[in-house]
Structure 1
Amino acid sequence: MASTRSQTKANLPKLRGNRSSSYSKRRGTKWVAKKAHKSIEQKWSKKTTTIEVNGDSILGFVRVKTDSNAVKHILETEFPDVNTATLPRAPETGKLQYVLKETEATPEGLPPNLVMRFDNVIKPRINDLVVKAWDEVLNAGLTFPKADPNRSATPALHLGAWSINQSKPIITAHSRAPAQSKEAEIAIDKFLKIINKYVAPMVTTFFKNEFPVQYGRQQRAHEHVSHKLREEFTKRPELDFGGAFFTVAVKEGSSERIHIDFNDDIKNVAFVVPFGDFTGADLCLPQLNTRVPISAGQVVAFDAKLLAHCSSPIISGRRIILTLFTDYVTLKRYGQ
């Protein structure tokens, strides 16, 4: 008899004290309505700060880590009427820069310019070479990862090296077997060889001249990473970009959903380099109340972890976009 009672008791739903399930549900709903929202607001408010750029005060995401919901909520709260189609559009050509003003409240170590655009960097001949090499990668049976729903409906391929979720730097899984076939690896290396020869030197020059502190961190990190990946870089030298960046994210299309790049370092910049023949796909930056046109031949550097961003729709043509960056883990471990 005792055994039967024990089994019956074990099968009953567990309640706290004498509270019924309906009572618990009512209490939970009431708590969410009255207190949870305020608690969440306080949590999110600690993840932003006000900084000055080009003479205007803007909101910066300084402590948001991997919380896309927090970013979405802050943007909806601070910019309820934001529409990428109606954001003021910067001039299509000419050097652009959004200068950070240092104040007592400015977080230490941020780049001196949060956004810069450079004209006439990639020549038409190089644009054609990159597009052709990318087509060869696609034709080699490339395996794509799933698209990140927080960014875009189309996937991005990450090539090179990084330290995300690793105890040491590694060659990205997208760059090698078993994700890719030997034929795809060869095509990837041919594609990256062109990036190394024609794109990386330009980026290195801009990095060194415009962001000297950040460039110094990159070089210190490269010294350590190239030593740790010496065997891998010897076998596939195209995966080593000389330290200006460690990873190339490449995709076709645009990242149409507002996001921040959580894997980037907030004290660094990423470089965006478009290829192809297209119109549209401006870089939209709600915090700066602007959208920056980027056409083939131009290069944009910006703090992709401080500034939420997305692309406006592609109006026509084909767009291949490269984002050249270094993950925050690599810089934290090896760039100090």
Structure 2
Amino acid sequence: MEIAFTKADKLKDHPEDSALGFGTCFTDYMFNMDYSPEKGWHNARIEPYGPIQMDPSTMVLHYGQSIFEGLKAYKTKSGTIQLFRPNDNLQRLNRSGRMLCMPELDQKMVLKALKELVKIEKDWIPSEPGTSLYIRPTIIATDPYVGLRSSHTYRFFIILSPVGAYYPEGFDPVKIWVTTDHVRAVRGGVGTAKTAGNYAASLFATELAHKEGYTQVLWLDGVELKYIEEVGSMNIFFMIGDELVTPELNRSILAGVTRDSVIQLAKSWGMKVVERKISIDEIYEAHDNGTLKEVFGSGTAAVISPVGMIKFKGREISIADGEVGPVAAKLFNELMAIQYGSSEDPFGWTVPVI
């Protein structure tokens, strides 16, 4: 499929690397492509970034048929640009699409389009340590119809956003809050899909956590409210004794790309990594008997996010005396080194763009 290109009349000013936050600044161009039953995916184009015009009855606005991904492009010290595990993100996008009754994308074609877009926008990629170009591929339902069914037409788009370092003031642990009054997802639902509704379901409890002084919510399973699932925007890991434990994928937990990277990297170091059901009570017992060494989250935005405190049913526990643990620090440093090309990539995770 050929990709058309429309040049912008005027380009935006680029922000200083030091002024970058997350998700507030967007580049000059975006990729768009449409789907209809008659034509399949068609009209692939790179054009100036701008609003998407839609009818007030457009189905995504009423029934939430929307999926997305998040990945990054990195500028190496030598000036080359590379992506981190883009094929895994595109595979997951298609898995999410199947759950939301959306047509599959040709991954090779989309990767080609993504690379082309990043090449055009290469000057937007920041150079300061920890900065990157965030990439958001998205599919939305576009039928103008108010009625509960899957849409017949769709829009696929990719937008880019230069982002600052996630830890501009230091790699510090966060505080997380466990709720038993709210759930994010249940087995048999769409918890394992990266769909907008999952994040909408997390907003209320997250606001409550913020009011209590906590960064994110640690979600329990939606049936027994007993077993740990994930944090709001991350998967979660526990260092218990000499084992690195993470909740098993149970059809309600998102299969994180960074989660899988942590597992593969830790195993390559000879660490014992276990994917299994783990209850919040077990975590508190491990803390009380001294075997809980570290807790940290994993995700695209933060890479690794150490946890220094957990609160559950009114009881707050401190992890590693509120300090960053050695496993979290080592994983963070090594993953960042691979992503920015300063360390060897033995897994074949990085994909060159330029």
Tell me, yes or no, whether TM beats 0.5.
Answer: no
Q: Which has the larger radius of gyration?
A: 1
TM-score by length of 2: 0.25
Q: With a CA cutoff of 8 Å and minimum separation of 6, indicate the structure with the bigger relative contact order.
A: 1
Structure in which a larger fraction of residues adopt helix: 1
Structure in which a larger fraction of residues adopt strand: 2
TM-score by length of 1: 0.26
